[in-house]
Structure 1
């Protein structure tokens, strides 16, 4: 399957915050978690916590709960997390344990490709700090196993040029950055494989200021979001029986509130 670099503009709408499912007691022994199925070839899955069904038929890029701003309550402490092919309870496609703290928000992302034995689950702790007035707060997650480590360049404002060195260097597979605050919009992103300088590889797409990028993204906002945002780089969806010579992007991008 051939791989293409790509460029696009992402229009991010304001999301209504809803943190459903969690009790309000400060001493509650529960954690809040949401799940994202981000493996391009794992297929649809059923999810269990400690042997109890939580989500059914979760497909690529889908989240549970369905409303991405919502969470579901699970016991705090060590939790047994499993994913099975939809309609089956054996074998487990994902089988791991999470250590969850009470009164804490988490996102679990299943990433990678079954065909390359790179499937893994990334557990993120979500920051619910409200951005300062006039600012946008973003973080980045590399859930694209085929891409390897990536360099992320970014800048805010329509007339600014990209920095000469990566804003987030060598973000490895299964890794996440911290949160960054931006003043002004839009936010311009350029993503390359680690070590590939801007303009250093023929055939890539032009980005901000003529830079060559494996992915070039412009984030536009109808209105500034009142939550932090998480941008996840994923392996592309791999359809069964894809015809020879089919093209696929090197990575795709998904976004989540918080």
Structure 2
């Protein structure tokens, strides 16, 4: 009986080792294809271009392009899969798609993120925020605010008499707020600069990110401080 047990254990170990080796090789092969996420842990990343003068931009995670197409100012890529873990986010922009911003990012599995390209050429930043995809209460929408305008310090956002965010500095974001679904005049204030957007409609059950983009005090249509909006869900 002792001999049988010893022989069986060796066989089991041999088989287990073979299975482990095969699994390791399988995972390694899949990681050779940076767009194959079968059997891997991944996050979902959305990219927003909030820089008015950087030009169209693309997001790379560990040197792999994660935006199918270059993203124009004020637009978003939508969510794309990225491997989980500590990685390097790089943005290429302009006609030559040169590197304009780099940052280390932590991407956790089964988590959604938004990465902003923010600020102005020569001093661009990447802002990473975690997206809470938990649905709001029935009849409500969920909203948060991110300040992606480099000179809009202490920005505040209100919907009518409802304060969504107050005194949010550049590269920072607010917590989520639930608000009754409907149409609102969203008012963004930074110092003496006030921006009103009367065409914001929030749908029940939806999640939104509003963000400051452009340059406070600039009056040109291309660079003026404005409110951007992205529907996360």
Same fold? TM cut 0.5: yes
- Structure of greater Rg: 2
What are structure 1's unaligned runs of at least 5 residues?
1-20, 156-161, 197-212, 237-244
Conserved in 1, the CA contact under 8 Å of 2:53 and 2:120?
Answer: yes
2:93 is the counterpart of 1:85: yes
1:138 to 140, 143, 148: 143
1:40 to 39, 52, 66: 52
Which structure ranks higher in relative contact order (CA pairs < 8 Å, sequence separation ≥ 6)?
1
What are structure 2's unaligned runs of at least 5 residues?
1-34
How far, CA to CA, are the matches of 1:182 and 1:24 in structure 2?
38
Residue 171 of structure 1 deviates from its aligned partner by 0.8
Matched length: 194
Corresponding residue for 1:97?
A: 104
RMSD (CA atoms): 2.9
Corresponding residue for 1:200?
A: none
2:30 is the counterpart of 1:30: no
* Aligned CA distance change for structure 1 residues 79 and 184 (closer, same or farther; 3 Å): closer
2:83 is the counterpart of 1:75: yes
* Aligned CA distance change for structure 1 residues 42 and 167 (closer, same or farther; 3 Å): closer
Corresponding residue for 1:169?
A: 166
Corresponding residue for 1:253?
A: 227
2:123 is the counterpart of 1:118: yes
Residue 24 of structure 1 deviates from its aligned partner by 9.5
How far, CA to CA, are the matches of 1:63 and 1:149 in structure 2?
24
Corresponding residue for 1:127?
A: 132
More helix by share: 2
